[in-house]
Amino acid sequence: MALKATIFKIDLQIADMDRNYYAEHALTIARHPSETDERMMVRVLAFACHADPALSFGKGLSSEDEPDLWQKDLTGAIDLWIEVGLPDEKRLLKASGRAAQVVVYSYGSAASIWWKQIAGKIERAKNISVRHVPQEASLALAKLAQRTMQLQCTVQDNQMWFTAAAGDAVAVEVLEWRHARN
């Protein structure tokens, strides 16, 4: 018998002072059976970084042809393709051909090794950005995970603070390993 996805409901309030974006999003996230709380919460962080009414979660781990998050314009063209984790260069180069902008959010202890191996291989793709979530922060975010969550995210001067309804708070500084040059 196949395992089913676990559904998480998140009320996410975002106050992004760097982008002048203030909104509340009711998110429904299907967590694949093989996905960890850490990875799911990095997806939430990526959503908060790029929050927009048109931004949506893709099929993620269960689909080869969709990213973790994406944003399409009214014609169906992909404006933004977001990957979470340590994708291979073939996937990233394919995404860079399909989308105007590709952003990777890496995390975990193997991320620096992955980056050393892949950096030169994606050099020709000018529309790829790579950001890293330090392991202490991604593990702290994982501790906030509950089936029903109320989170507040404040962004100021490239610093992020996630606060749960219970009062638990996590500070995150996302590191920029590669900035798109398009």
pLDDT tens-digit map of 114-168: 999 999 999 999 999 999 999 999 999 999 999 999 999 999 998 999 999 888 9
Q: Give the chain's domains with CATH numbers.
A: 6-178 (3.10.640.10)
Q: Are 160 and 169 in contact (CB under 8 A)?
A: no
Torsion sign, CA atoms 32, 140, 88, 54: positive
User: What is the three-state SS of 60-96?
Assistant: HHHCCCCCCEEEECCCCCEEEEEEECCCCHHHHHHHH
Q: What is the pTM of this model?
A: 0.94
Task: Report the pLDDT value the prediction gives residue 3, as an integer from 0 to 100.
Answer: 74
